[in-house]
Structure 1
Amino acid sequence: MRDVWVKVTTLAMLGATACAMTACTMDVGGTGTAGGGAAMPRATATLMDATGAAKGNATFEQTASGLRMRVQATGMAPGPKGLHFHMMGKCDAPDFTTAGGHWNPTGMKHGKDSGAGPHLGDLPNIEIGADGRGQIDTVAAGVMLMSGATPLLDADGAAILIHAGPDDYRTDPSGNSGSRLACGVVTPA
């Protein structure tokens, strides 16, 4: 048993030494941040349908290039679905209109293919497979979770929504993506 303790202690000391030599810091979860900076902001959301049933989850992590998001969905009809940030941190059933319109703090048109967009709330479609499940791992360029001139988590919060149909990436204001199937309030982690 003493040998195990010695090995664990040695590994911990080596890790701390490596961290000190590279000027990283360790947060409570044990992840390091290079350059001695603070851990980057994170957030989560649980996606629910109009009946209150869980339909997935999302995690968000600030990066230097934007907001990295990982969304997992379940129990949905197959096919591509529009995925967007909405401007209010509310998800009242049955239609989730309390989430407001798409988050668009810079006043751009909707869609990467519109010629005058995209706005910051535009996200890639999530593809739902034949088994009713889908996932996406992407970076929303330029999006700041809690800092900058236009943070996603401002005074009234934000939500992430999955729509019934695919975003066509050009029709303003919503990409012609249909009704709102699932909604999750973005909450700091």
Structure 2
Amino acid sequence: MRWIFCLFIIFLAACTSNTDEALKEVAMLNADGDKLGTTTLTEDGEGVSIKLKLEGVEPGWHGIHVHEFAKCEPPDFASAGNHFNPEDSEHGLMNPEGPHLGDLPNVEADGDGKIDVELELPEATLLDGKNSLIREDGTSLVLHDSPDDGYTQPSGDSGERIACGEITAN
């Protein structure tokens, strides 16, 4: 009975270790370097769950995507590169040849400029692998000033990049 208890403790320790690796908190900054809030990314078996909690955003709909580099250099965040696209797909959640792995549904900032939403990024991971958001030097999460139309190449006509957060292993 004692060794069964020991195996149970080892199992719990292993599960706790994996959970710690599969959780990331990312600060989202605007072009002035002001923190708008945080994003919490969690591995959930179906992909990565993204809990976005921001304030100080222009009310209305905004496109949001995971981009290929963990570089959020203001003022335009062009350093984040293109959408994260390890499968070399077309852009857009409504595109039959898409989507990019980094394509996400639009989010809405309420009348007070707050966004509080949870999104799913199917097939992505925070662990090792081709679809890892923390691969090599990482990726970034970028919020745009306009909604993504779900189809237009290469970025859904979602406008300027207004906030960015670096997704890294550290």
Counterpart Cα distance in 2 of 1:148 and 1:122? 18
8 A Cα contact 2:93 2:104, kept in partner: no
Matched, 1:58 2:36: no
Matched, 1:71 2:71: no
Cα deviation, residue 186, structure 1 = 1.1
Matched, 1:25 2:6: no
Query: Number of paired residues?
Result: 164
Cα deviation, residue 26, structure 1 = 4.9
With the length of structure 2 as denominator, give the TM-score of the two structures: 0.88
Q: 5+ residue gaps in structure 1?
A: 1-16, 28-32
Matched, 1:117 2:98: yes
RMSD over aligned CA atoms reads 2.1
Cα deviation, residue 24, structure 1 = 5.5
Aligned runs of 1:4-153 on 2, under 5 Å? 20=8, 25-26=12-13, 33=15, 38-39=18-19, 41-153=22-134
Alignment-derived partner of residue 7 in structure 1:
none
Instruction: Classify the secondary structure of the residue corresponding to 1:138.
Output: strand
Q: Deviations over 1:78-118 (max 9, x none)?
A: 11100100000010111111111111111011111111111
Percent identical: 34
Counterpart Cα distance in 2 of 1:91 and 1:57? 15
Q: 5+ residue gaps in structure 2?
A: none
Cα deviation, residue 37, structure 1 = 8.0
Instruction: Classify the secondary structure of the residue corresponding to 1:38.
Output: helix
Instruction: Classify the secondary structure of the residue corresponding to 2:26.
Output: strand
Higher gyration radius (CA): 1
